[in-house]
Amino acid sequence: MTHIGNALTFTLPLILAVALHQILAGCPHKNPGKPVMGRYQVNDTRGCACLLANMGLQLNISFSSASLNKTVQDVVNLDPNVTMSSGSCGADNAILRLSANDNKTNLTFTFTVNTTSNKYHVSEISLSAAWPDMKEPFSAHNATLNHLCGTVGYSYMCRKEQTLSVVPELAINTFEVQVQPFNLTQDQFATAEECQLDKDDMLIAIVVGAALAGLVVIVLVAYLIGRRKSHSGYQTI
């Protein structure tokens, strides 16, 4: 009994200390958790959906803080409840514009289609933000990107978290993305094409599953052989 008591008095504070350390270590890098998935839509001049995007978005942004008087790293989720979508659809490019928090955050994605390869991708992202603690409004823009590549006639899907780097001061983490910027029919997504990350995940699951199944078979065969041997052993006696 005293042994167990001693062990507890030593291990309990240790566990608490480790837990506390984890919590405190998490403090400098605020993590807002997974963002809520938004359902964004752009309509053409006839009022039909010409771009659909379901995704959770998280901005990872470094800006000059007014209160701390230094550059800070902030991770902020885009809240779909206070985000409006607009944009336009053209033959070879489509724009999704998201405005959040009464226009204090404007995020724009430009999709471009390559008619030779029959692929589309996000070629341009821009963000302007005027948040309370910013010394000056933040603005970032990159027009030579190659993110979320899909095939014309399909929607692009990626369940796994992805990081879209824009400029050194801005990256966008995406969660559970399904987008289609071209060739929508009847306001619906076309068949989804899964991203490589998801395919890799599936492959790992299959390999692990096959390995486990193999192990079960080996154990079963070993057991059966063992049983047979002991049976034949009895028969000789």
Ligand X SMILES: *[C@@H]1O[C@H](CO)[C@@H](O)[C@H](O)[C@H]1NC(C)=O
Q: Which residues sit at the interface with ligand X, rule CB under 6 A? A: 60, 73, 75, 99, 103-104, 106, 114, 116-117, 128-130, 137, 142, 144-145, 165, 167-168, 171, 173
Q: How far is the CB of 196 from ligand X (least distance, A)?
A: 17
Nearer of residues 129 and 189 to ligand X, judged by Cβ: 129
Please state the closest distance from residue 199 (CB atom) to ligand X, in A.
21
CB of 145 to ligand X, least distance (A): 5
Least distance (Å) from ligand X to the CB of residue 207?
Answer: 28
Measured from the CB atom, is 147 or 189 closer to ligand X?
147
In terms of CB distance, is 61 or 189 closer to ligand X? 61
Name, in order, each residue with C-beta under 8 angstroms of 175's C-beta and a sequence gap of 6 or more: 34, 35, 37, 55, 56, 57, 58, 161
Tell me whether residue 177 or residue 189 sits nearer to ligand X (CB atom): 177
Residue 36 and residue 107 in contact, taking contact as beta carbons nearer than 8 Å: no
3-state secondary structure 123-190: EEEEEEECCCCECCCEEEEECCCCEEEEECCCEEEECCCEEEEEECCEEEEEEEEEEECCCCECCECC
Give the HSE-up count for residue 221: Cα atoms under 13 Å, Cβ half-sphere: 6
- Amino acid, single-letter form, for residue 94: A
Beta bridge partners of 56: 175
**171 within 8 A of 140, measured Cβ to Cβ:** no
Nearer to ligand X, 93 or 142 (CB): 142
The total number of residues written for the chain in this structure: 237
